[in-house]
């Protein structure tokens, strides 16, 4: 019985003539049970070709490291690459200016003690050329006047050597945040202009005015003034300023805040020791006072 059934399935035409393909007419393959009777199953489905899905990936932020010490430059490059950034390194001031013009970085880590031209001059030339990159100065100079000169030359922040790598990376994250754009968490756009006395701040346009005159502010100076003006008449703690303007996980010294406050006062036309719109609240923070 089993042999007869097997011949029926395995043969076509006259008995004993083998089929070219061992399949049933409906495309099924024979399967045999122990008692000689057969059952059918369909052949395995041929997997269909799938089209490749192209997923967009965010473009890494371009960071330019300007450092003539190869050991420090190498450590910085490795740390930034590990954070997913696109990193270029320049060992001289002239090379830094050339790379900044070609690569258009969003952030520059700038050493002041370069072999050809001083980092202060590099910062001035970058700003004169229209660069909007955030500039973080890395320097062994600790005098307050050096910090003030660097900020006035166009730097947004500074860090004295030797520095902790974790603190540097925290500052990099802070400067890479995109102020003035819609909040990715809420989707809300920046608010309209805010006026306190003779000072007006337009967050959406990233512009600030003292009366009819526009103020020339660096990125962090603008963010700091915008926060104080928005809270005019109310105390703003140092912790909140560091959280909102610099980084939500900021740690370390807040001396950079004092330097930015001094720079803001000068740009508002206020002399040291005289009356100021930005009032210092010792042990607390600052308050923007409408004159």
Residues 139, 146: contact at Cβ < 8 Å?
yes
pTM tops 0.75 = no
User: Per-residue pLDDT averaged across 169-197, rounded?
Assistant: 62
Q: Which domains does the chain have, with CATH numbers?
A: 2-41 (no CATH), 62-176 (3.40.50.2300), 194-288 (1.10.10.10)
pLDDT band at 15 (very low <50, low <70, confident <90, very high): very low
Provide the pLDDT for residue 11: 42
Average pLDDT, the chain: 76
Backbone angles phi, psi at 165, to 5 degrees: -60, -40
Measured CA to CA, the distance from residue 274 to residue 287 in angstroms comes to: 16
Provide the pLDDT for residue 110: 95
Q: Pick the residue with more confidence: 2 or 161?
A: 161
pLDDT at 41 over 60: no
The share of the chain scoring above pLDDT 90, in percent, equals 27
The share of the chain scoring above pLDDT 70, in percent, equals 69
pLDDT at 89 over 90: yes
* Least confident span in 143-152, 188-197, 226-235: 188-197
């Amino acid at each position: 019985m089993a042999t007869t059934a097997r011949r029926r399935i395995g043969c076509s035409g006259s008995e004993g003539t083998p089929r070219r393909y061992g399949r049933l007419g409906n495309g099924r393959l024979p399967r045999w049970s122990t008692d000689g009777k057969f059952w059918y199953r369909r052949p395995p489905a041929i997997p269909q070709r799938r089209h490749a899905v192209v997923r967009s990936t965010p473009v890494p932020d371009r960071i330019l490291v300007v450092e003539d010490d190869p050991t420090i430059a190498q450590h910085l490059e490795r740390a930034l690459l590990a954070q997913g950034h696109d990193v270029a390194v320049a060992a001289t001031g002239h090379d830094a200016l050339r790379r900044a013009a070609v690569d258009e970085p969003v952030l520059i880590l700038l050493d002041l003690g370069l072999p050809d031209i001083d980092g202060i001059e590099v910062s001035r030339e970058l700003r004169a050329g229209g660069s909007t990159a955030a500039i973080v100065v890395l320097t062994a100079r600790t005098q307050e006047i050096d910090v003030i000169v660097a900020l006035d030359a166009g730097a947004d922040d500074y860090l004295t050597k030797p520095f902790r790598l974790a603190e540097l990376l925290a500052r990099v994250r802070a400067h890479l945040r995109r102020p003035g754009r819609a909040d990715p968490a809420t989707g809300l756009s920046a608010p309209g202009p805010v006026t306190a006395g003779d000072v007006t701040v337009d967050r959406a346009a990233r512009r600030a005015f003292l009366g009819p005159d526009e103020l020339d502010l660096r990125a962090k100076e603008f963010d700091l003034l915008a926060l104080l003006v928005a809270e005019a008449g109310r105390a703003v703690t140092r912790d909140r300023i560091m959280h909102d303007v610099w980084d939500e996980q900021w740690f370390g010294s807040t001396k950079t805040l004092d330097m930015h406050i001094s720079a803001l006062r000068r740009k508002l036309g206020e002399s040291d020791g005289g009356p100021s719109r930005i009032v210092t609240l010792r042990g607390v923070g600052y308050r923007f006072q409408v004159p």
